[in-house]
Amino acid sequence: MSLTNIKIERRQRWDKPFAESWAEGELERVLDLPIFKSMDAERFPSQLSLQGIVRNDTRLVHYEPGDIVAREDDYGSSAFIVVSGEVTVVLPPGLPADLLGRGVVSQPEGWWGAIKRIFNRSRFNETRHYAKEGWDLKGDLRYQQGIARVHINNLEEQLADCQLALLGPGELIGEVAALTRSPRTASMVVTQPSELLEIRWQGFRDLRKYDDGFRTRVDDIYRERNRVSYLKALPFFSELEDNQIEIIAEQTLLESYGDLEWKATRRKGASSSVPSEPTIVEQGDYVDGLLIVLNGGARIVGKHHAGQQTIGFSRSGDFFGMHEIVLSHQGQTEHEYPVHQYSLTAMGHADVLRIPTDLIESKLLENLASEQIQQLIKQSAYPRASVDQGFQEFIGEHQYTNGRSTMVIDTSRCVRCDDCVTACARNHDNNPRFLRHGRQFSNLMVTNACMHCVDPVCMVGCPTGAISRRIDGEVVINDETCIGCSTCATACPYDNIRMVEISDPAGNPAVDAKTNKPIVKATKCDLCVDNKGGPACERACPHDALSRVDLTDTATLNVLLRRAANFL
């Protein structure tokens, strides 16, 4: 039997445009907006023309008074340009969580609540009391142009005590989230009928790449709105005066490496290994600046024999290059100038801030006492490759560095009793929120359980803000506002979110009143945030085989590996 090639068309970037369709004359009207009019279309390559970007990567969205454009702390993936009307930015402390469609952060239930839960447990899986009672929301949920939106009733009353900023036509908003995929810093609502042009991050980045004016404008806004406050919040700069921070912010560069869509590559079976990762800095190069990982993750790599060895990992807020700069400043290096001891590569995707070395020396190091310098040398020292090298590479290969609370099972202790699964089910509607299954390195298994990532890509694009991050870092889903769109489940690169069909307490399946299709909800591990004792799975293990750990924490890993190796 002979095999023949089947010729199919390769999928292209704009096969699925952002806007489902453009009404007649709408596209021309958008291209006539001053922001696009001022752009030089000639500077865009033919395959990524300005008109193509606007047609395929933007959409016009109409908002009614009370609609939420974006919520504070949401992981946005698009920016907006006000076309008509007005957007109200609600400044911190902002609107209450329940008004924004999120679950109210509550204290864990007490003893009485826990006892009541034992007796109130349904016989059926995934039962919900509101399946028949309707939405228990302060706001309404409404669909427009296929987009689900939480709508605030009595908006004027709700905003009465808030600090507000108004943005009119031509203003650009939400650019930081589109640029760095970081949480939105404020909520935005609409108080009058308004029209906004939403630009998805792919198009936004291309506009910034090919138009100098747009890039300058975006960077200026970003610098003005975010960079100063971000730098000020970092430990090394907390004692610097405002004007010094502003000078540093002025000269700080924002750089992006890798592919934001790394999860798609990962799904196809490709793994992340050092040679395939884009290099941010090379070992042995001159240290031209202090690097701060803003978003995503990076790997610290050192040359070892003919290959490269992972030394450690950097995540959001981590520094790279400080050790060399300080040592060089103190004259403790071979060269007269600082040289990188290790390379830094982007794992999937990384946004980094680069602060010029001379600024670090003049604004920071010159003002520090010798004890502080010594402390800085200690703090900025690179981790020694003390963890099992194979395990380190395993973590990097599958990008488990993203997790803050990864479920790891020591299979040389686990008796496969499934008590962890049973305990999880007892705490979560008789349906466990994880699978006791996953990739394994030696006797350590990383299971399919939500890792509560540092960079939770599952939160990008949730239309109702149902998935959010609590102040302690737990990523939780508000069941009441989850519309079952599967955006989060599709986005999770680790396949740790599951869509489940729900029923009422009597076991009757809940179905859509219009389509008669089952109502589904996104479910995942919530670290038992409502339970006073912490994660039930971890507490239920009779042999201490299951732990929730941060896989970048060298000390914890060493304990795990040593304990595993010594266990009978």
Interface with another protein by CB under 8 A: which residues? 111, 114-115, 117-118, 411-417, 419, 422-423, 426-427, 436-437, 440, 442-443, 445, 531-533, 536, 538-545, 562-563, 566-568
CA dist 248 and 234 (Å) reads: 13
Q: Measuring CA to CA, which residue among 198, 212, 176 is closest to residue 74?
A: 176
CA dist 44 and 209 (Å) reads: 9
Structure tokens at 24: 């007649």
CA dist 473 and 450 (Å) reads: 12
**Beta carbon nearer to another protein, 170 or 533:** 533
**Beta carbon nearer to another protein, 413 or 470:** 413
Residue 18: strand pairing partners: none
Which residues, in sequence order, are CB contacts of 356 under 8 Å at separation 6+? 251, 252, 288, 289
**Beta carbon nearer to another protein, 376 or 423:** 423
Which helix (H) or strand (E) segment holds residue 132: the answer is helix 130-133
**Beta carbon nearer to another protein, 177 or 564:** 564
Helix, strand, coil in percent for the chain, rounding step 5: 35, 25, 40
**Beta carbon nearer to another protein, 359 or 425:** 425
**Beta carbon nearer to another protein, 109 or 393:** 109
Shortest distance (Å) from residue 565 CB to another protein: 8
**Beta carbon nearer to another protein, 502 or 541:** 541
CA dist 80 and 214 (Å) reads: 14
Shortest distance (Å) from residue 535 CB to another protein: 11
Q: Measuring CA to CA, which residue among 462, 434, 439, 437 is closest to residue 450?
A: 434
**Beta carbon nearer to another protein, 90 or 564:** 564
Shortest distance (Å) from residue 321 CB to another protein: 37
Q: Measuring CA to CA, which residue among 440, 404, 403, 393 is closest to residue 299?
A: 393
Structure tokens at 268: 């196809």
Q: Within 10 A of 48 (CB to CB), how many other CB atoms are there?
A: 18
Shortest distance (Å) from residue 110 CB to another protein: 9
Shortest distance (Å) from residue 426 CB to another protein: 5
**Beta carbon nearer to another protein, 267 or 532:** 532
**CB of 55 within 8 A of CB of 173?**
no
Shortest distance (Å) from residue 113 CB to another protein: 9
Structure tokens at 551: 């896989």
CA dist 403 and 474 (Å) reads: 11
**Beta carbon nearer to another protein, 304 or 543:** 543
Shortest distance (Å) from residue 114 CB to another protein: 5
Which residues, in sequence order, are CB contacts of 257 under 8 Å at separation 6+? 278, 280, 346, 349, 350, 351, 352
Which CA distances in Å does 336 have to 332, 341, 429?
A: 9, 14, 64
Shortest distance (Å) from residue 432 CB to another protein: 12
Shortest distance (Å) from residue 441 CB to another protein: 11
Shortest distance (Å) from residue 468 CB to another protein: 24
**CB of 362 within 8 A of CB of 416?**
no
Q: How many Å separate Cα 264 from the centre of its chain?
A: 15
